[in-house]
Amino acid sequence: MLGPVDLSRLPSFSETRRAVGARAALPLDRRSFVRLALGTGAGLVIGGLIESVPAGAEAAAASNAYDGVFTPFVRISPDNVVTVLIKHQDMGQGVTTGLSTLVADELDADWAQVVPEFSPANVALYKNFAFGVQGTGGSTAISNSFEQYRKAGAAARSMIVQAAAKRWGVAADSIKVSKGVVTSGAHSATFGDLAQEAAAVPVPADPTLKTPDQFTYIGKSFPRLDSKAKTTGARLYTQDVQLPGMLVATLARPARFGGVVKSVDDTAARAVKGVVDVVTTSRGVAVLATSTYPAIRARELLKITWDDAKADMRGTDALVAEYQKLADTPGVVAKAGDAEAALAKADRVIEASYVFPYLAHAPMEPMNCVAQFKDGRATLWTASQLQTVDQAVTAAIFGIKPEDVTINTLWAGGSFGRRGTYDADYIAETAEIVKVTGRGEPIKLVWTREDDIKGGYYRPVYVHKVRVGLDKDGAILGWHHRIVGQSIVSGTMFESALVKDGVDGTSVEGVSDTPYAIPNMHVELHSTTVGVRPLWWRSVGHTHTAYVMETMIDEVAAAGGKDPVEFRLALLAKHPRHTSVLKLAAEKAGWGTPAPEGVFRGVAVHESFKSFVAEVAEVRLVDGKPKVERVVAAVDCGLAVNADNIRSQVEGGVGFGLGAVLHGKVTLKDGVVEQGNFDSYEVLRINEMPRVEVHIVPSAEAPTGIGEPGVPPVGPAVANAISAGTGQRVRVLPFDVGLKLG
Amino acid sequence: MTTFQINGRDVTVSVEDDTPLLWVVRDELGLVGSKFGCGVAQCGACTMHLDGQPVRACVTPVSDVAGRKVTTIEGISGSVADAVRDAWVKLDVVQCGYCQSGQVMSAVALLAESPAPSDADIDTAMSGNICRCNTYQRIRTAIHDAATTLKG
């Protein structure tokens, strides 16, 4: 989803309006890294000595006597603990386990001695190679780290082996390492025993990596490192941060996007026991209290007059009507083909218009951040997803350098894209509150669920208009496709990487690059301007493009009286990875055999984030509503680093995508969001969760994404099943709105 | 002033009577395993047991628990809780984990009442607990697994 970003395009803030020139690598945090050695290889920088690191490693650092192997990615301490520094955010996708696996395998560590820890924010050491900044998204965590973390493990192993060879006076090649135990003949030692001597060994720049047949952990299903702590209440999130003297803040934001505070009467709010301050920032009115509940209660008592002069007053009905008109006019060409001429010659033209709603991410943990400004330095405790952006935005607000912003990245209670904002929204809100109050105490800003659902940063509204011309046999002659909607990245630092010739790639991905052998395909885009902030939402453009492509292809197959699987396979002849997942899902689902009485099947296949997923949905219609009983998925995401985690991500992705197509919608009336909590913004609950079977295609290709690719196919697979059962094509999402059954 | 028992310990707190139990437990007592997800009893992340019955602590005024026994994720124990946790770990149910304190508390309450629940029983008992990672399939399997363990 992302490419290298332009850091000179950081958002500006009304209060500071500072240009930020953090284009190049950020200097190292002086306090965190006092010695750096030997930086080489494909981004591998190894050999730094960390004197004190934030959060989890405080205890080790406090002694200032760390005497083991110590690199930016791996630490081995005399107590035989292997700490893996995780450069990515773990929002549930399991990357802490995944990256630890890569290190543990090459190091030949025992799984029980491995402890993950989030790395500091430091773009020089911890950038995502897919972005050029430190950050997580686009299902890139494993793919961009695969070689880097394996090399880090292999380097540490080499240091341990050399230390053992020296101690025992034996040849290095006589030494074996298995499950954290180092042996040679009668000699035996643990990593911990050798940690001090290994630390003196120069870090190899280009250690030898294992061949796949030598893997001990990679490719196996082994347990997550975070399961236990997440079932005992021990796992802490930003919401749980308690610091001495900390204040808790809530922020009253304008009801309309673009509104600003005109005046505020805070008398009643200030009278609430526990409230210590009320301040106005460029973004709203903040209430600060000694604990959470008074901050929430007192905010309800603020009497604020808003200035909506610059606010977007449109409702979503008006917006959709505008989009539909635009869809009838030429847009910017995203893919050129002579569709009109082909359509003119067609025996039959299928025409369809689709409407997709705004969607909130609604992670279980509402947005939050703890920030402190003291002695010219800012410190954040938050589930940072784009650390480099969060660092730079915070620095701009305080007028300090990015390297003077320390980020303690914490576990995220979900994200689905929400925490990866191009303007660091809730982090910037917190920093601004800290700045305006001038307080030295840490301040924790908490969002309520209503703040989250009403807060924007949605998957944008999109309208698609498609015309497909067929010959008398049902073969496709031409395909004309227009997409209308907001650009997610326009005006952000991601624009230069992702917008080409006026086309935001995230608006058309999945259509303009379709693998189907479609002749005379023409794709156009209208990028609209709306006050509602858009954002990537788990699988980004594929959330709508896969739905349109896969339901249209299904409709074309049906028009020609062809089997949906056979029809797709014929158009995918040059795409073996698509066809293999499609065939596998069809076979495992029993495609072609009778479905259970009253059950209808639908299929979809889609590539996203370089992974390939096909899904077959079995749907029963109960009282006029679809009940999805079973989803069979087949996945090719390259080499399966952890098969069980892949299954887990696809199971979850199916539920996430299904909830959205069944119920998900954020609507606006006169510019005001109509939903507020889970009673009005409905998400999937357990009673609607189908049985999900996930089958993985064995592959030796480099690993690709899995956090997102399970999401796109489920909506169209279910829609195609509904069509198979009723003949009705659902083109207005969600189904709660667009599916009308008797 | 309200006095109640939490995880076997008597506590007295000095907060407004209408303060939700969730915020008393999290902010006054420092037990942060129970989560805030919605504030309106829609998501179940705050689920605690009150005299053994599951309640949504985000809408339970602290005055309602005076003299009663509150159990949180930090305090839940016994064979049912052990079986549930073991099943959760064995099957790697969790993803982000934020909802899982509430899921575990609801699952323990279900199994205490109904030792061999059907899928439909599970769906009914657990539909008040939202998981945005959609770990529901594994939650179902883990509850069956825990039930099997408890049956011996």
Strand (E) or helix (H) holding A106: helix A95-107
Residue A632 Cα to chain centre, angstroms? 24
pLDDT in the model for residue A742:
64
DSSP state letter for B25? I
CA–CA distance, A190 with A397 (Å, rounded to integer): 48
CA–CA distance, A324 with A638 (Å, rounded to integer): 40
Phi-psi region of A197 (alpha: psi -120 to 50; beta: other; left: phi over 0): alpha
* Single-letter residue type at A549: M
Assess: ipTM above 0.90: yes
Output the average pLDDT for chain B. 97
pLDDT in the model for residue A47:
25
Q: State the pLDDT confidence band at A5, using cuts at 50, 70 and 90.
A: low
For chain B, what is the radius of gyration of the CA atoms? 15
Q: Which of A136, A232, A364, A651 should one mutate to test binding to chain B, selecting the residue with the greatest count of B CBs within 10 A?
A: A364
* CATH H-level, domain B2-71: superfamily: Beta-grasp domain (3.10.20.30)
Contact assignment for A411 to B100 by CB distance below 8 Å: no
Of A235, A366, A644, nearest to B92 by CB-CB distance is: A644
CA–CA distance, A192 with A355 (Å, rounded to integer): 60
pLDDT in the model for residue B9:
97
Residue A629, pLDDT > 70, answer yes
CATH number of A238-309+369-445: 3.30.365.10
Which residue ranges make up each domain of chain B? 2-71, 79-151
Residue A341, pLDDT > 70, answer yes
Residue A53, pLDDT > 50, answer no
Segment A209-219 shows an average pLDDT of: 95
CATH T-level topology, domain A316-359+457-738:
Aldehyde Oxidoreductase; domain 4 (3.30.365)
pLDDT per position as a tens digit, B57-100: 999 999 999 999 999 999 999 999 999 999 999 999 999 999 99
Of A237, A248, A677, nearest to B42 by CB-CB distance is: A677
CA–CA distance, A675 with A449 (Å, rounded to integer): 11
pLDDT per position as a tens digit, A299-324: 999 999 999 999 999 999 999 999 99
Tokens representing residue A682 in the block: 């409905």
CATH T-level topology, domain B79-151:
DNA polymerase; domain 1 (1.10.150)
pLDDT per position as a tens digit, A509-542: 999 999 999 999 999 999 999 999 999 999 999 9
Chain A residue numbers with beta carbons less than 8 Å from the beta carbon of B14 are: none
pLDDT per position as a tens digit, A90-113: 999 999 999 999 999 999 999 999
Q: State the pLDDT confidence band at A624, using cuts at 50, 70 and 90.
A: confident
Residue B132 Cα to chain centre, angstroms? 17
Residue A50, pLDDT > 80, answer no
pLDDT in the model for residue A69:
74
Whether domain A31-214 has CATH 3.30.365.10: the reply is yes
Give the lowest-confidence range in A34-38, A247-251, A551-555, A727-731.
Answer: A34-38
Residue where the block lists tokens 């628990």: B65
DSSP state letter for A290? S
Nearest alpha carbon to residue A511 among A567, A563, A468: A468
The reply to whether B138 touches chain A by the CB within 8 Å rule is yes
Contact assignment for B30 to A692 by CB distance below 8 Å: no
B:51-80 residues touching chain A, CB 8 A cutoff: 72-74
Give the lowest-confidence range in A50-59, A418-427, A724-733, B39-48.
Answer: A50-59
Residues 6+ apart with CB under 8 A from A562: A474
pLDDT in the model for residue A160:
97
Contact of A114 with A66, CB cutoff 8 Å: no
